[in-house]
Amino acid sequence: MRFGIVNRMASLGRAKRPKLSSKDKSYFDSYCDISIHEEMLGDAERTNAYKNAIFQHKEAIQGKVVLDVGAGTGILSCFCGQAGAAKVYAVEASAMAEQAKKIVNSNNLQDCVQVIHGVMEEVILPEKVDVIVSEWMGYCLLYESMLLSVIYARDKWLKPGGILLPDSATLYLSPICDDEIMVDKVHFWNDMEDTYGVDMSSIIPFARESLSKEVMVKSLGAENILAHEQVVKNFDLYAITKANLSSVKYSFLFRCFGHADLQGFAVWFDVNFCTNKKFLADDEKKRDLNPCDSNTHVKKKSVLLSTSPYLPETHWKQAVLYLKKEMQVVQDSKIHGSIELSPSKDNPRFLSVNLSTKIDDYPEVSKHYSMGYDLEKSAIE
């Protein structure tokens, strides 16, 4: 009897009863807050990149089965339905799944898009899929560890030769000068005597050190960058494994552009949407067989979504690692060091960052940063 019930659940694409830890429950509960979705959908760079990528891969999606991992409001699933997918499974662990169903119905896509309220690792789909689409990127790329759910879905549900959107990511690092935050957050305390008649300048060292306690999410510009960025790691989503994400390490050597105060380092990322090699090969065969028929070949352009400080701002901004003290650099100053990013031991959805750096004749500086928030507290509030 239980076997029959399990089979029926599978045919409906429903999830097993989620076995959530309190941390996971709090994490998913946080995505019930509509302000998070407002922020994401209000990010035109992000949303248009996904829309463009989906419609540029229309040939790979038409008549195919798509899985949307972490569907949220369901907008990516709707894009896939509009692009001609035969079926879209929109998997969302939070209660936002109920709102996604309403959005799907409002767009008359209910015959194509099936919203499944469940955790990706617990969901049983009725079939394998041709395409996986997901907006899995967190601050500093790896925060929240949602990439692990995409890896699970890829290994469990993606057909051989299926495609991932996006299919690659690149993490960057660069030294920075950020005088603006020094004025706003540190030298602010110098103004207290003029403003209120109380000298509070003694707190400046404490205020400066407080900046370096955690990874800060902040918008920077080209003027803040002190040296050419370097690639910390390239991620091939077709090949990456859970073990690869247990620790991301990189040793760097920067040469500075000119005279400035080195105040920390910025981390940002790109993700790329391009058709996998098998699909490209099949497309090339069609062109070779029908060289005069332009309709048999549409040149695929890769779509890039970047959070670079040189480009328009996204809601991810940049992740900044401030040092305890600024250090002066000049043109061609050498900045040696290493960085390691790994899931926090306290909560794997949080991020732990270790940074060591040495600038010219300055002594080496080592610093540990955390990136996370009190999930349980935020869920209660």
Kindly list the distances between the CA atom of residue 28 and the CA atoms of 70, 81, 88, 148, 320, in Å, as whole numbers in the listed order: 10, 25, 21, 15, 26
**Euclidean distance between CA atoms 253 and 230, whole angstroms:** 9
Q: Which of 243, 229, 108 is nearest to 173 (CA)?
A: 229
122 catalytically annotated:
no
**Euclidean distance between CA atoms 94 and 108, whole angstroms:** 23
Q: Which of 261, 279, 351, 376 is nearest to 57 (CA)?
A: 279
Instruction: List CB contacts of 378: < 8 A, sequence separation 6 or more.
Output: 26, 30
Instruction: Sort strands 365-371 and 168-176 into parallel, antiparallel or unpaired.
Output: unpaired
Indicate the helix (H) or strand (E) that contains 152: helix 147-157
Kindly list the distances between the CA atom of residue 21 and the CA atoms of 28, 258, 259, 305, 344, in Å, as whole numbers in the listed order: 11, 50, 50, 32, 16
Indicate which residue of 59, 92, 135, 229 is catalytic.
135
Angle (nearest 5°) at CA 106 between 100 and 111: 80
Kindly list the distances between the CA atom of residue 50 and the CA atoms of 45, 149, 236, 277, 289, in Å, as whole numbers in the listed order: 9, 19, 18, 20, 31
Kindly list the distances between the CA atom of residue 157 and the CA atoms of 66, 162, 207, 276, in Å, as whole numbers in the listed order: 10, 10, 49, 17
The structure tokens listed for 113 are 């898009």
Indicate which residue of 38, 39, 92, 144 is catalytic.
144
284 catalytically annotated:
no
Catalytic residue positions, numbered:
135, 144
